[in-house]
């Protein structure tokens, strides 16, 4: 089964990080990603640019409406994701718990529908 691990964190805190802390964090993510690649669990994963660069698109009655930013103000913002393969929710949770961001933000674990057909 594939799971999407959505990494939420307080963006303001991340932005305020000093250069050294940022390097350390990047290093931790690199290590973690290497680990799940070696374990055969990694399918994809990326860091997202800040919410200030986001646009939201809706199509209503055939008209496209575009607004700035995400649709809701929340304390934590989506900052990145991993797509992993795991044999059960427990395995997905144990991967999620090792994501460096889990220590200060939170990780949402979502099972993915198998492709239709």
Partner 1 sequence: MTANEAMDEIFRREAGRVLATLIRLLGDFDRAEEARQDAFAAAIEQWPSGGIPANPRAWLVSAGRNKAVDRVRREATFHGKVLNLERASAQADAEVFLDEEDEAVFGDDRLRLIFTCCHPALSSDAQIALTLREVCGLSTQAVSRAFLVGEETMAQRLVRAKKKIREAAIPYETPPPELLDGRIDGVLAVIYSVFTEGYAVTSGPKLMNEALCDEAIRLGRLVNALLPGNPAITGLLALMLLHDARRRARVSDAGNVILLENQERGLWNQAEIAEGLALVEESLRLPGPVSPYTVQAAIAAVHARAPDKDSTDWRQIVGLYEVLLRLQPTPVIELNHAVAVSMVDGAGRALDLVESLAARAEVKDYHLLNVVRGSFLQRLERTAEAREAYQRALAEARVEPERRLIAAWIAQIDAG
Determine, following the binding rule CB under 8 A, whether residue 4 of this chain makes contact with partner 1.
no
Position 89 contacts partner 1 (CB under 8 A): yes
E strand or H helix at 98, and its extent?
A: helix 89-98
- Site for partner 1 contains 111 (CB under 8 A): yes
Least spacing, CB of residue 94 vs partner 1, in Å: 8
88 binds partner 1 (CB under 8 A): yes
> Which one among 59, 63, 87, 116 touches partner 1, defined by CB under 8 A?
87
Bridge partner list, 42: 84
Instruction: With contacts defined by CB under 8 A, name the span among 6-14, 26-34, 66-74, 89-97 that binds partner 1.
Output: 89-97
> Token match 């949402």: residue?
108
Residues 6+ apart with CB under 8 A from 35: 98
* Residues 92, 75, 33, 27, Cα dihedral to 10°: -150
Q: Which residues bind partner 1 (CB under 8 A)?
A: 1, 86-90, 93, 109, 111
């Amino acid at each position: 089964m594939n799971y999407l691990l959505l990494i939420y964190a307080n963006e303001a805190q991340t932005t305020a990080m000093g250069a050294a802390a940022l390097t350390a964090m990047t290093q931790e993510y690199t290590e973690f990603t290497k680990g799940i690649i070696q374990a055969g669990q990694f399918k994809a994963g990326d860091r997202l640019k800040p919410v200030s660069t986001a646009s939201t698109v809706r199509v209503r009655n055939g008209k496209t409406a575009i607004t700035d930013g995400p649709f809701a103000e929340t304390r934590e913002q989506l900052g990145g994701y991993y797509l992993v393969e795991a044999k059960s929710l427990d395995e997905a949770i144990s991967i999620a718990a090792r994501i460096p961001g889990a220590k200060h933000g939170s990780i949402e674990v979502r099972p993915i529908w198998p492709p239709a057909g």
